[in-house]
Amino acid sequence: MHEQEPHDSMVAHDKTSHESSGSKSLKKTSAGVIALLLVGVMMFLPTNFMIRSPGPVFNTLGKDEGKDVVSIDGAKTYASDSELDLLTVYVQGGGQNRVTIPVVLEALLNPTKDVVPEETIMAHSTSSEQQNQQNDMMMTSSQDLAIAAALTELGYDFKTWLTVADFSNELNSKLLKKGDRLLKYEGKSVSSLEQLKKALDANGDQPATLTVGRADKQGDYKNVDVAVQTQAAENGERQLGVFLGTEHKFPIGVKFGLSNVGGPSAGMMFALSIIDRLTEGSLAGKHHVAGTGEISADGTVGPIGGIAQKMVSARKSGATIFLAPAGNCNEVVGRVPEGLNVVKVSTLKEARSALEKIADGQDPSSFATCE
């Protein structure tokens, strides 16, 4: 019996070891399952990235859903054989529509897409609805600026006013109204933003008389004198505490029939289409041209987002010439699709001149490009 004890003891020990090994194995399996579950959950958590991909293309000299993309009243217009495409970008993510890690990984592997931090496109506090509203406002503004730039390029005269768009603080919020046209400051005509800034700085912290044109209920404007105050900004410049906008009164009517497209980047192509319609012949001959760029009233062409995706869309739509803002050249280099000639432009005048020369037979590849 004494000899049996070690044997019994050994049997008991072996059993204990077997149970301990099985328990550890179960724990490892459980930990692995939990880890996989956590990875699975993390894969579908929303991220703070947004994805740009190629979007639809619209010929500004054509139609969209049966409507002319650009139509003009009050002036003689001419048919054109050119195609002048504006380009769009699909944007995923941001706001309440955040994308998950698998979507981001797919975009990283797709050469036609770009993944960018959300804050490069929209503020974290901005909702998707607010962003859409901002894009709609920017589109409306770009259309107005496109008309101004085109008519300036063609030598038309039209009226322009600086207006009160909104208030940045309460300094003059009870004296001025949204939509007020700024006419005179201390008796001198307000002709431009730069001229107004100089006048505000020259007057310093003293009260001043601002004459505004204010619409009544019937829409008629009457001159009103307002005693306004200014305050110094961080850079020392005097400010009225308002956000300024621009209003134009054009001698012709221009309507835009494009729907479900926002943002400011169609400005240059809108302006070129207006020029084409108001001048005889075809601005780019029978060439298929695409392009992008913000436009200012004086014809300056500014950079935009998503130019790589827009070049992809341009080539797929059949364009062989692409007008790119000079400010986007660093994003153009190395991403130009085969068969697309990129022409670098800084102004509407440069863009118009390039297209006219191309229409006359000049080789598109001979123009300045992004290097």
pLDDT in tens, 51-110: 999 999 999 999 999 999 999 999 999 999 999 999 999 999 887 788 888 899 999 999
DSSP 336: P
Task: Check if 52-97+132-156+251-366 and 159-249 are the same fold.
Answer: no
Residue 326, amino acid: A
HEC states along 43-78? HCCECCEEEEEEEEEEECCCEECCEECEEEECCCCC
Average pLDDT over residues 228-247: 94
Cβ neighbours of 27 (radius 10 Å): 10
**Which two tokens mark 114?**
């770009």
Phi, psi (rounded to 5 degrees) for 25: -60, -40
Give CA–CA dist 359/82, Å, rounded. Answer: 9
pTM exceeds 0.85: no
pLDDT in tens, 108-129: 999 999 999 988 887 766 777 7
Domain covering 52-97+132-156+251-366, topology: Ribosomal Protein S5; domain 2 (3.30.230)
Q: Give me the residue spans of the domains in the chain.
A: 52-97+132-156+251-366, 159-249
Lowest mean pLDDT among 60-64, 122-126, 212-216, 346-350: 122-126
Instruction: Let me know: does 245 contact 123? Beta carbons within 8 Å.
Output: no
Domain covering 159-249, topology: Pdz3 Domain (2.30.42)
Give CA–CA dist 307/328, Å, rounded. Answer: 7
